[in-house]
């Protein structure tokens, strides 16, 4: 309580003190007034009792001598009837306790004991109390009786209570008025002081913008103005400090965030003291607990890889000498488990403007993941991800290194072996890529197991491997190793239901010439591999110079063929198809030729397979049709009766196109030719599937009025089983039947029955490759309708064909 009073305001203290004084003074005054009032009441009571006692003694004596107590009782009864104040009852008692007079308060049956009146009697009187007074009374015959009467003090008590309450109300009113007066005076006196107190508290709470109102010119107002000046100055200085602290905090946060983002450890070398500081992150990078590294610059040197420690020392000395602007080095550090981790150590020395270096500080970064990733990237860039073997780039480096070593100090040969898996795409398509990948891994393992020490195997393509054979005495050594390589083991794939027996082809290129390089050697091995893939007898082939010449010629032909197709460099020759009955030309077969500017006129066997390989066969076929239609449009001097038809060959890839019929009809219609003048030849093997796209395209062409010929009839599989479903009008017997037909009677029987079958099905028959008169006679006897071959004419260009038609027209006129 005392502490709280000490912290109370001045106004409160003043009010409390003044109120306390007022309460004490008024209490003393009120107490004295009550005492005086009690004394007055006591005196008034004594007077009333004395008067009543005298009066009653006189009346009792008077009436008692005459024994008229009854009258006295009546008089007193009337007098005391309904009395509530003053005398309220009277009792006269004989010596034998017999009531002589009983007036007033009939409810009192037994005389109460007389009241003892002492000091402070009225303080205990609450309201309508009665004071009982008893005196001895001399009766006639000198008998002593009792006179007892009661006096009510309610009036005195009420008057006393009213006076006390009024005094108390006056005292309280005075206290309240005094309190209000003093409060007003205290407020007026301490108003500025309270505002100063509130202002100081606001400043203490950090509200530096708070200002104290300043009114008047008294001392407190002057203090308020000075307080405001002080607050403004303090606010300005604190704002400056806060701005500085904010910038410092931002800088520290930026630095801390940069360190956390960089995830670097810090080190600080006090050179004069020979001590070093290593941060917790520094120790963490070394897999040490915080503070686990001794505060010495030599302590870190013990963790550097021994192979890199000399270079570390050398670079550090160079930087301390001022020969480098910054110390920086990537190196390895030893971890407690014995492994090594790649780190980047950086630092800068401080000279303090003197030659002496006082301090050097820097950071250490964990770059182990980056270095491992770089090593893995280098490995992945030079190795096959599936088999783990070197790829083409690394293999070329190995071959170049082997060739360089051979040129320096070795007489032994070096060989490059190209290995290709046969039908690998079929395995992928049949069993999925997982089985194909497993096959490649098995083949790689087989190749590595068959290699000698110093040999190098690589995967250089999807299904192609290469092997570098070093230190070969002769080609027989390479052949023996390749015979082991070609014997691939069989394996059972997890998802396949049978054992796979992979096969491969191998091409070998030996380094005989000293000026060879790796690319040339691998190219030669690929050429030999290409030869091996075409061979039906041996899966292993050695490279010869002619293979390279052939490969170069094939590449040149490829480029020239694309140019010829784009610029009209192809030509069409026409071979007559003659009716065997009268030797009259019935039609022509359009045969493509290529007048090459360097190699002369090339036959189809030299560039048709190339066009199929390059997926240009459709473009070539459409070019042949375009040229044939243009030639036929320009042949205008033929009789209508002898207008010859032209047969154009369609390839398998063309017939696989769903829009082929539309494309062909568009070319014919664009040249304005009747549909019946064009015929198309297809090989019978393309019609083996009646529901295939080839059959649908041919049916569309026949519906447009174009005849279809089956070329190479008799060479397909199960010819008779689907002959009746073929959408065709004529069949052409393959030249293999015609060449031996004059000598083989069994073959003649087969041809006869085939011709009869074709006639029964409503088809005409054309025999190809007729080269002499004997063959012509046999075929005529067998019932063949038409013939084609060198016996009649070789394929001719457009101009010679036009001359042929003119001659045929002249013959027709002479008939």
Same domain, 102 and 132: yes
Residues 305 and 431 reside in one and the same domain:
no
**Quick one: pLDDT at residue 666?**
94
Nearest 5 degrees, angle CA 257-CA 258-CA 261?
A: 80
Please tell me whether residues 775 and 800 are part of one structural domain: yes
Residue where one domain finishes, among candidates 127, 155, 174: 174
Return the axis-axis angle of helices 424-431 and 433-450, rounded to nearest 10°.
140
Residue 202 lies in a domain: no
What's the pLDDT tens digit per position in 6-38?
A: 555 666 676 677 777 777 777 777 777 777 777
Same domain, 150 and 65: yes
Distance CA 617, CA 196 (A): 106
Residue 103's SS3 state is: strand
CATH code, 393: 3.30.70.270
Positive or negative, the Cα torsion across 124, 125, 129, 133? positive
Residue 533 clears pLDDT 80, i.e. is over it: yes
Across the chain, mean pLDDT equals: 82
The pLDDT value recorded for residue 1 is 47
User: What is the average per-residue pLDDT within 75-90?
Assistant: 78
Most confident of 36-45, 261-270, 654-663: 654-663
Q: Within the chain, how many helices (H) and strands (E) appear?
A: 25, 25
> Do 634 and 487 have their domain in common?
no
Number of domains in the chain: 4
What's the CA gap between 726 and 710, in Å, rounded? 9
pLDDT digits (tens, 9 = 90+) for 682-725: 987 666 566 667 888 888 999 999 999 988 776 654 455 556 66
pLDDT bucket at 70, cuts 50 / 70 / 90: confident
CB of 346 closer than 8 Å to CB of 315: no
| Higher-pLDDT residue of 537, 127 | 537
Query: Of 517, 543, 569, which one is at a domain's C-terminal end?
Result: 543
Where is the domain boundary, 174, 192, 214? 174
Contact indicator for 446, 488 with CB cutoff of 8 Å: yes
The residue ranking higher by pLDDT, 222 or 132, is: 132
Residue 478 inside a domain? The answer is yes
Distance CA 128, CA 83 (A): 12
Residue 193 lies in a domain: no
- The answer to whether 437 touches 423, Cβ cutoff 8 Å, is no
Token look-up 């030309």 returns 585
Going through 216-262 in order, the beta strands assigned E by DSSP cover none
- Lowest mean pLDDT, pick from 2-11, 16-25, 71-80, 444-453: 2-11
Range of the domain at 122: 8-174
Dihedrals φ, ψ of 740, to 5°? -110, 10
CA distance 439 to 442: 5
Q: Label residue 381 by pLDDT band (50, 70, 90).
A: confident
- Structural domain includes residue 60: yes
The pair of structure tokens assigned to 518 is: 């790796």
Least confident of 213-217, 461-465, 630-634: 213-217
218 versus 162: which is more confidently predicted?
162
**Lowest-confidence segment of 139-143, 574-578, 586-590, 707-711 by average pLDDT:** 139-143
Chain segment 247-287, per-residue pLDDT in tens: 888 877 777 676 666 678 889 998 888 899 998 889 988 89
pLDDT at 720: 57
Average pLDDT over residues 339-363: 85
What CATH number did the domain enclosing 97 receive? 3.30.450
Are 638 and 497 within one domain? no
Q: What pLDDT does residue 496 have? A: 61
- Looking at residue 777, its pLDDT comes to 93
Q: Is residue 227 part of a domain?
A: no
What CATH number should be reported for the domain holding residue 605? 3.20.20.450
The per-residue pLDDT for 33 is 75
pLDDT at residue 771 in the model: 92
What pLDDT, on the 0 to 100 scale, is given for residue 664? 93
Categorize the per-residue pLDDT at 339 as very low, low, confident or very high, splitting at 50, 70 and 90: very high
DSSP 752: H
Query: Does residue 236 sit within a domain?
Result: no
Residues 510 and 442 in one domain: yes
189 or 355, higher pLDDT: 355
Helix (H/G/I), strand (E/B), else coil: 333: strand
Q: Is the pLDDT of residue 542 over 50?
A: yes
Residue 462 lies in a domain: yes
**33 with 152, same domain?**
yes
Q: Which residues, in sequence order, are bridge partners of residue 139?
A: 143
Residue, of 708 and 406, whose pLDDT is higher: 708
Query: Do 399 and 361 reside in the same domain of the chain?
Result: no
* 437 and 562 part of one domain: no
pLDDT of residue 126: 46
Query: Does 329 have pLDDT greater than 90?
Result: yes
- The arithmetic mean of pLDDT across residues 425-453, rounded, is 87
Task: Please indicate, yes or no, whether residues 44 and 166 belong to a single structural domain of this protein.
Answer: yes
3-state SS class at 286: coil
Q: Quick: pLDDT tens for 724-761.
A: 667 788 999 888 889 889 888 898 998 999 899 889 88
Instruction: Mark whether 600 and 476 lie in a shared domain.
Output: no
User: In this model, does residue 125 exceed pLDDT 80?
Assistant: no
% the chain with pLDDT above 90: 21
Confidence of residue 2 (pLDDT cuts 50, 70, 90): very low
pLDDT for the residue numbered 128: 52
Q: Would you say residue 718 lies in a domain?
A: yes
In eight-state DSSP terms, residue 266 is: E
pLDDT for 40 equals 76
For the chain, what percent of residues have pLDDT higher than 70?
A: 87
């Amino acid at each position: 309580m005392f502490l709280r009073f000490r912290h109370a305001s001045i106004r409160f203290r003043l009010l409390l003190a003044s109120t306390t004084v007022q309460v004490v003074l008024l209490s003393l005054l009120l107490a004295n007034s009550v005492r005086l009032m009690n004394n007055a009441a006591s005196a008034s009571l004594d007077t009333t009792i004395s008067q009543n006692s005298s009066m009653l003694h006189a009346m009792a004596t008077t009436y008692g001598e005459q024994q008229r107590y009854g009258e006295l009782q009546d008089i007193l009864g009337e007098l005391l009837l309904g009395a509530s104040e003053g005398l309220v009852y009277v009792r006269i008692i004989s010596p034998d306790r017999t009531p002589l007079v009983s007036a007033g308060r009939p409810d009192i049956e037994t005389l109460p004991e007389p009241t003892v009146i002492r000091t402070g009697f009225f303080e205990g009187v609450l309201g309508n109390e009665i004071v009982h007074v008893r005196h001895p009374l001399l009766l006639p015959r000198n008998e002593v009786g009792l006179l007892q009467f009661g006096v009510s003090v309610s009036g005195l008590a009420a008057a006393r209570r009213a006076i006390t309450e009024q005094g108390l109300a006056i005292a309280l009113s005075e206290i309240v008025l005094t309190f209000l007066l003093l409060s007003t005076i205290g407020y007026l006196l301490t108003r500025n002081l309270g505002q100063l107190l509130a202002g100081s508290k606001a400043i203490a709470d950090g509200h530096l913008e708070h200002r104290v109102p300043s009114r008047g010119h008294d001392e407190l107002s002057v203090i308020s103005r000075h307080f405001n000046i002080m607050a403004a100055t303090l606010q300005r200085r604190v704002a400056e400090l806060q701005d500085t602290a904010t910038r410092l905090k931002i800088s520290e946060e930026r630095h801390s965030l940069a360190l956390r983002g960089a995830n670097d450890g810090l080190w600080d070398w006090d050179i004069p003291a020979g001590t070093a500081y290593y941060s917790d992150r520094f120790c963490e990078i070394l897999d040490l607990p915080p503070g686990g590294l001794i505060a010495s610059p030599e302590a870190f040197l013990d963790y550097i890889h021994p192979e890199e420690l000399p270079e570390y020392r050398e670079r550090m000395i160079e930087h301390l000498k001022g020969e480098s602007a910054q110390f920086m080095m990537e190196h390895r550090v030893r971890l407690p488990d014995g492994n090594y981790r790649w780190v980047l150590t950086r630092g800068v020395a401080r000279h303090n403007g003197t030659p002496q270096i006082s301090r050097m500080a820097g950071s250490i970064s964990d770059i182990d993941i980056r270095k491992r990733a770089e090593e893995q990237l280098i490995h992945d860039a030079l190795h096959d991800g599936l088999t783990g073997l070197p790829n083409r780039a690394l293999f070329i480096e190995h071959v170049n290194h082997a060739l360089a070593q051979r040129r320096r100090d070795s007489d032994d040969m070096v060989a490059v072996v190209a290995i290709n898996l046969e039908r690998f795409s079929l395995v992928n398509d049949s069993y999925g890529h997982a089985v194909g990948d497993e096959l490649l891994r098995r083949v790689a393992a087989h190749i590595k197991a068959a290699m000698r020490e110093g040999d190098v195997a690589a995967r250089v393509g999807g299904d192609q491997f290469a092997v570098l054979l070093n230190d070969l005495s002769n080609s027989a050594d390479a052949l023996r190793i390749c015979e082991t390589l070609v014997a691939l083991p069989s394996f059972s794939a997890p998802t396949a239901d049978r054992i796979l027996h992979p096969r491969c082809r191998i091409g070998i290129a030996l380094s005989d010439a000293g000026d060879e390089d790796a690319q040339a050697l691998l190219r030669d091995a690929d050429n030999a591999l290409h030869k091996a893939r075409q061979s039906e007898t041996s899966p292993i082939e050695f490279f010869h110079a002619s293979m390279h010449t052939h490969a170069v010629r094939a590449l040149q032909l490829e480029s020239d063929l694309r140019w010829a197709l784009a610029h009209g460099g192809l030509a069409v020759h026409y071979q007559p198809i003659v009716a065997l009955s009268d030797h009259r030309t019935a039609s022509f077969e359009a045969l493509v030729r290529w007048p090459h500017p360097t190699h002369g006129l090339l036959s189809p066997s030299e560039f048709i397979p190339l066009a199929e390989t390059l997926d240009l066969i459709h473009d070539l076929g459409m070019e042949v049709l375009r040229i044939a239609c243009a030639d036929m449009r320009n042949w205008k001097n033929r009789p209508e009766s002898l207008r010859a038809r032209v047969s154009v060959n369609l390839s398998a890839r063309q017939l696989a196109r769903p829009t082929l019929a539309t494309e062909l009809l568009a070319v014919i219609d664009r040249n304005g030719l009747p549909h019946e003048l064009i015929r198309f030849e297809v090989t019978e093997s393309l019609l083996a599937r009646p529901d295939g796209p080839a059959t649908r395209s041919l049916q569309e062409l026949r519906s447009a009025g174009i005849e279809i010929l089956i070329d190479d009839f008799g060479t397909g599989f199960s010819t008779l089983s689907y002959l009746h479903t073929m959408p065709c009008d004529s069949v052409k017997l393959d030249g293999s039947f015609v060449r031996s037909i004059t000598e083989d009677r069994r073959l003649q029987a087969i041809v006869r029955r085939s011709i009869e079958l074709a006639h029964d099905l409503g088809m005409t028959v054309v025999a190809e490759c007729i080269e002499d008169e004997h063959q012509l006679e046999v075929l005529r006897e067998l019932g063949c309708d038409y013939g084609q071959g060198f016996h009649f004419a070789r394929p001719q260009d457009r101009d010679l064909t036009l001359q042929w038609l003119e001659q045929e027209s002249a013959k027709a006129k002479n008939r």
